[in-house]
A and B are shown apart, each in its own frame.
Chain A
Amino acid sequence: NAGVTQTPKFQVLKTGQSMTLQCAQDMNHEYMSWYRQDPGMGLRLIHYSVGAGITDQGEVPNGYNVSRSTTEDFPLRLLSAAPSQTSVYFCASSSGTAMTYGYTFGSGTRLTVV
Chain B
Amino acid sequence: GENVEQHPSTLSVQEGDSAVIKCTYSDSASNYFPWYKQELGKRPQLIIDIRSNVGEKKDQRIAVTLNKTAKHFSLHITETQPEDSAVYFCAATLDTGFQKLVFGTGTRLLVSP
Contacts and interface: CB of A to CB of B under 8 A. Distances in A.
Contacts of A99: 31-32, 49, 51, 93, 95, 99
A33 to B, nearest CB: 8
Interface in B69-112: 89, 93, 95, 97-106
Q: Give the one of B100, B101, B106 with max A CB within 10 A.
A: B101
Contacts of B102: 45, 59
A75 interface: no
B101 A90 contact: no
B54 to A, nearest CB: 12
Nearest to B32: A99
B61 interface: no
Given A43-B44, A44-B103, A31 B98 contact: yes
Interface residues of A, number: 24
Interface of A: 31, 33, 35, 40-45, 48, 50, 56, 58-59, 90, 97-99, 102-103, 105-108
Given A90-B43, A98-B34, A98-B99, 15 more contacts: A40-B9, A40-B105, A41-B105, A42-B4, A42-B6, A42-B104, A42-B105, A43-B89, A45-B100, A48-B100, A56-B98, A59-B1, A59-B102, A90-B44, A98-B101
Interface of B: 1, 4, 6, 9, 31-32, 34, 42-46, 49, 51, 89, 93, 95, 97-106
30 contacts: A33-B98, A35-B103, A40-B9, A42-B89, A42-B103, A42-B106, A43-B44, A43-B101, A45-B100, A50-B97, A50-B98, A56-B98, A59-B102, A90-B43, A90-B44, A97-B98, A98-B34, A98-B93, A99-B31, A99-B49, A99-B95, A102-B34, A102-B46, A102-B49, A103-B46, A105-B43, A105-B44, A105-B45, A106-B43, A107-B42
